[in-house]
Structure 1
Amino acid sequence: MTLRPSLFWLLLTLAVALVAMYLACRSFQIAESAIAAAVFSAVLCASAIRTNAPHWRREANEQPVLLREAMRTNVLLIALAFLWCAAAFYAIYLGTAVRWQHGWEYGTACLLLAAAYGYYALRLANSADAQAQPATIERMTRIIGYQAILIAIGLVWLVASGKLAITHKGDWAANQLFLAGGFAIMCISVILIKTNAALSERRTAV
């Protein structure tokens, strides 16, 4: 499956979550901000499961799904997660009274990562592109797997260090974004790996 059938509702839900988090941060409603970030994460994870689950259940004799198409869908979801986090960083730390000196820096980093994943998805759209070949996709899948491991380590540290505790510092919103965005990207990465493995195995079995 692709994102196209539900793309409008996905983008609308993410936009609403972004506005909700911005408004919550603007009035220093920390719990409400966390809920909005959690909604963003849950919606993206649910979308990834919905679009990938059919690939896991298909039998070998059914209509094959191109590996690059499935990869492209998941890469777009990761790009969307980074883009949402970038927009949230900018909106909160440049558009509200919440202050943290590194907000725009992390926002820019997320934006660059979103652009990189978006560019990769664009390359995957062309079947003749070197980045759309099975061997290259397999290599990128491993890289995304390493990314998921690093994110998992970062999330464990974030929770264990007590960074999520409410303090007078303005980094509480950033920590919410790190947790929600990191969890979403980690989950999509794991789903991407599972789909890649299922489709690769089916392709070799035919």
Structure 2
Amino acid sequence: MSLRPPLPLLLALLGAALFVMFIAASTSRKAEAAVAAALFAILLISSAIRTNSPFWQRNAINTGVTPRDALWQTTRLIMLAYLWCALAFYAVYLGTTLHWQHGWEYGSAILLIAIGHAIYLRRLADPNDAVSTPSAIERAVRLSSYQAIAIAVGLIWLIQSGKLSSLKGDWAANQLFLAGGFAVMCLSVIIIKTNAALSERPAR
């Protein structure tokens, strides 16, 4: 069984969501922009669930997929989440008349995070690299739990602050923070769940 979803189709759908976000932001259609951001999150989360859920079953057979394989696959989706958000920030705040002075700054910061994940993925693809050892993978999974908790706290604050109903130019940024944060939080939880399932399997 392969962990790899049909990447070209996923990228095409993510590209379509990004285009809709751009068009909606350029015409200040907040509802349509929110739908595009939500679609982006749903696409990544559903892709991760589809490829990881078979390993969560109690009677799942040993498919040869290792914790490193699973970590690589879902981390790639996290990288795509950060990359999509960075491109969306650039598209919205550099490509439309919507103005928010911090748009390009957050876009650049998120792009750096995406690049950092891409570098990590390249190393993780090598089974002989230091980041591919069982102890390193366990640390990465533990960091995923911290990331999920931190994002959950941030999302609660974002929702309670009322920023999602902002009348200023940051309304699109807040939608991206919500959708991107929710996607990365869910993907982090999936990493934890799959790693636990695969780590327990040899003892059965």
Same fold (TM over 0.5): yes
Could you say which residue in structure 1 is the equivalent of 2:111?
Answer: 111
Write out per-residue CA displacement over residues 123-170 of structure 1, whole angstroms, 9 at most, x where no aligned residue: 111111110111100001111110110100000000001001141x10
For the Cα contact (< 8 Å) 1:72–1:121, is it kept in 2? yes
2:188 equivalent to 1:183: no
Alignment of 1:50-89 (within 5 A): 50-57=50-57, 59=59, 62-89=62-89
- Give distance in 1, aligned partners of 2:35 and 2:192: 28
- Are the equivalent residues in 2 in contact too, given 1:55–1:65 (CA < 8 A)? no
Is the Cα contact below 8 Å between 2:54 and 2:60 reproduced in 1? Answer: no
Alignment size in residue pairs: 203
Q: Is 1:43 paired with 2:43?
A: yes
AA aligned opposite 2:124: L
In structure 2, list runs of 5 or more residues that go unmatched.
none
Distance 1:9 1:58, change over 3 A: farther
- Amino acid in the other structure paired with 1:163: K
Once the two structures are superposed, residues 98-117 of structure 1 have per-residue CA deviations (whole angstroms, 9 ceiling, x without a partner) of 10011111101111111111
Shift of 1:54: 1.3
**Structure 2 residue 151 is the aligned partner of structure 1 residue 151:** yes
SS in 2 for 1:147: helix
Partner of 1:201 in structure 2?
200
TM-score relative to the length of structure 2: 0.96
3-state DSSP of counterpart to 1:178 = helix
TM-aligned CA deviation for residue 57 of structure 1: 2.1
- Contact in 2 for aligned 1:48/1:77 (Cα 8 Å): yes
Q: Which runs of 4+ in 1 moved over 6 A?
A: none
Tell me how far apart the structure 2 counterparts of residues 58 and 46 of structure 1 sit (CA, whole Å): 21
Matched-pair identity in %:
57
Deviation (angstroms), 1:58: 6.3
1:2 pairs with 2:3 = yes
What TM-score, normalized to structure 1? 0.95
Q: Distance in 1 between matches of 2:39 and 2:169?
A: 21
Over the residues paired in the alignment, what is the CA RMSD in angstroms? 1.3
Which amino acid in the other structure matches residue 191 of structure 1?
I
Contact (CA 8 Å) 2:86, 2:110: kept in 1 or not?
yes
- 1:24–1:32 CA contact under 8 A, matched in 2: yes
In structure 2, relative to structure 1, the CA distance for the partners of 1:126 and 1:59 (3 Å cut) is farther
Whole-angstrom distance in 2 between the partners of 1:24 and 1:35: 10
